[in-house]
Chain A
Amino acid sequence: KAGVTQTPRYLIKTRGQQVTLSCSPISGHRSVSWYQQTPGQGLQFLFEYFSETQRNKGNFPGRFSGRQFSNSRSEMNVSTLELGDSALYLCASSLNGGRESEQYFGPGTRLTVT
């Protein structure tokens, strides 16, 4: 079974631009979560989608948004990029979410904002 895939793997953008990252979960998984990883803040939860609905949200500004499609694939969008948005963005999928549900992570998209 194929793992979680994320595209692109690397991205360079300039301040003020917007970016869209994509995540394809493991086949059959309906929950997709997004995390931001930086050296200073570590891993921080962005949001979780389940059956095309945002079910959980972290403490990030409205510039960060996402969506999920009927095939469970998910996209994350960041508008008006700032230097501080440079990070590794990780996507994770699980069967149904929930406190005991194991999450499987993708390799991440490394975003650099200049």
Chain B
Amino acid sequence: GNSVTQMEGPVTLSEEAFLTINCTYTATGYPSLFWYVQYPGEGLQLLLKATKADDKGSNKGFEATYRKETTSFHLEKGSVQVSDSAVYFCALSDKNKRGDKIIFGKGTRLHILP
């Protein structure tokens, strides 16, 4: 079945460092891909998405490119801030004509040190 694999955390970086969180997927067809973020005590927020191959999603300085040839959707940010500390989830929408089912990776906890 469809699945998402992302790098295990926690990931600890200093402020202004470059961030990469790896994500690969297994899917039939052409799923949409997402990155969600969960701040402490809150629900999930959509960070960015890409709906077809070679699309680049971007938001708040984060970017991810839908790479069909490597089945990857790695999250990157050039200069992280303390406020980026959160849990990040890579996800895909399961191909289903009936409706919306999202499959999530296990999540990667990110700590940014001042």
Contacts and interface: CB of A to CB of B under 8 A. Distances in A.
Given A100-B51, A105-B43, A107-B42, A56 B100 contact: yes
A45 interface: yes
Interface residues of A, number: 28
A106 interface: yes
Interface in A44-84: 44-45, 48, 50, 55-56, 58
Contact of A45 (B36, B45, B98, B101): B101
B99 A98 contact: yes
A99 to B, nearest CB: 4
Interface of A: 4, 31, 33, 35, 42-45, 48, 50, 55-56, 58, 90, 92, 94, 97-108
A31 B100 contact: yes
A100 B101 contact: no
A31 B51 contact: no
A108 B43 contact: yes
